[in-house]
Chains A and B, each alone.
Chain A
C-alpha cells in the first residue's frame, strides 16, 4: 500500500550518504569562503557617500546586485565541481558494487545521488543567501524578505545543474561531464539571442525551423536569471515566470528519466 513511501525512504537514505560524502570535499569550503568574501563586499555601497560611484543607484540595489552575482556564480562552481568530484568517488565501481548487492533498486541509487547533491547545494545556498540577507538587514534595519524569494530561483537552477551534471556523467563518467554542463549552461544563457537569429522571417529555412525548435528545449538560464532579478527588484522585466519554471521542471524530469535509464548500463560491470 505504501510502496512509494518505502521507495522515498531508500532514496532519502542514499541521498543523506551522498550529501555526507559531498560535504567532505574540501574545495567546496574554498568556494564558500570566496563567496562570503564577495558577499561581505555588499557592505561597500552603504559606506560610499558619493552617489556617482554606483551611478545614482540606491545602496540596497547595489548590495543586492553584488549578492545576486556572487551567489549565482558560486552556486554554479560548487554544483559542477563538487558534484563531479563526489560522483567520481560515490559511483566508483568499488563503492557501487556494495550498494548494488543490497536490496535497493537502481533508480533509488541514482535519484538518491541527485537528491544528495542537491542537499549539498542547498547547504551552500542557505548560508550564502543568509549572508546577503543579514548584510541588507543590518544596513536597512528592515526585513527584506524579497531577497529569499529572489534567490530561491537560484535554488531551482541548481537543481537543474545537478540534473545536468548527473545526466552527462551517465554519458561520460569523468570530469568532461562538468565541462559539458558548463557548455550547456552557456548555450542556455544565449537562447534568447539565438532564438532571435533563427526566427528571423527573412531566413525561414528548414534548418532555422529545426534550430528554433531545438532552442526551445534548452534550459532558459537567461530567463531564470531574469525572474530572479525581477523578484529582487533589480530590473523591471517581463518574463513569463510560470512557463519558464514549468519548462525547467520538465527538463529536470526528463533528465532524471534518461539518467535512470542510462544508470542501468552504467552499472553493467
Chain B
C-alpha cells in the first residue's frame, strides 16, 4: 500500500499548490484591483487614518484634518466653510465631493503617484504617511469682497489674474457649510446631503464653472472682438443704432432694451454702441461679419474648451448652426449662447492681457508634509484671442462703458476701469440676469472679474448689470488693488 500513499502525497501537494496559487492571485496579482474597489471599506478607512493634506488660502488652512478619537482617526474641518465651500468641496466617509477635495483627492490623500518617492521613504522611516497640502491661488480679500457683495443674491463671482490665469476669487451663492457633510455621523451626513441636494436654489452647484447662463450684452465684447479682428472695423466705425432692427428672413424684429434709438444721430461709433450697450448696432454687426467669424472668435476665447482648474469647467458654447435671426440674437448674447461666469472672466482677462487668454488655475503649489514644494503652477497660454491692437481698442471701448456708459457704478477713484454690463433675458416673464465683466487698472490690469446676479438680484427686474453686478465687481477690484 506504499505506492498509493506516495501518490496520495502528490495529490496533497497539488491541493496545497492550488492554495498557494489562489492566495497569490488574491494578495498579490489582483490585490490592487480589490483594494481599489469603491465598496472596499478597508481602503476608505486607511485613507481616513492617513492625515489628509490641507487646502491653504494664503497662509490659512481653509480645510484641514484634526486628530479625533474615533475609528476614522481624523476629522476634516473647514474654517470659513461657507466662504470657500465651492473651492474646497467636502470630504466625508462617502468620499470626496466637489471642489479641490474631489479634483485633487489623490494628492490630498497621499495616494498620488507624484508622491511616490515620499511614500517609499515613509515606509522606511516609519513615519505616518501624509497627504500633500494644496496652496490655492485665491486672494482672501477678493474672495471676501465677492462673497460680501453677493450676500443673499443667487449668483456667482469669479476673478482672475489676467497675466497668469490664477483664480483670485471663486464665489457661488447660495453656499453651504462643508462641515455639515464632513461629520463622522454618516446618517447625519446623508441627511444634510439630501437636504442640500434637493434645495431648489442648488447650493451644492458651483455656479462659477458649472452653470451655464445666457451672457446677454457682456457677449458684445466677443462680437466686437470678432468685428475688429476682420480688419474692416475699428473702434470709431459708424454703425446704425435704430430703436428696432428688422431681422431678415422673419417677421420678428429686435428692439433695444429701452425701446429707443441708441443715439441722437442715425449712426453711432462702435465705442458709443458699446458704452450704451446698443442691441441693434451689435446685431447689425453680427449679421455683417457672419456666424463663422463670431463662432471662431468665441472659440479663441475658450468657448468649447474642456478646462480643468482642476475642477472641470463646463464648456461654454455658441450654437453651431445659426440662421440670420438667430445670428443677430446671438451677437447680443441671446438665443442659445451659453456661458459660465468663468468663461466671461476669461474674455475680460484675455482683453486685459493684450489679447492672450491664460489657462485658469486654482492650485498655486503642491506642498509636501515636510513643507517642500512638490509641484508649482506654471502659467500657460490658452490662446491668442485677439491681436494686441484689437485688445487695446476693446479696452478703450470698455473703458467708455465705465466712464460714461452703462457701467458707471464700477468707477474707481484714480483708477481706469474697463467693463461691460449685461442684462440677459432667459424666458418670457422672468427677470433678466444681471452681468458685469471688467478689469482694472485698464492700462496695467491686475484683476479681471465676472459677476452674475441671477434674475437681476434683489433690486428687481429693472436692474441691469450696471446697478447690481457692477458694484460687486468694483468691490472685488478694489480689494485686489488695496483701495
| A in complex with B | no
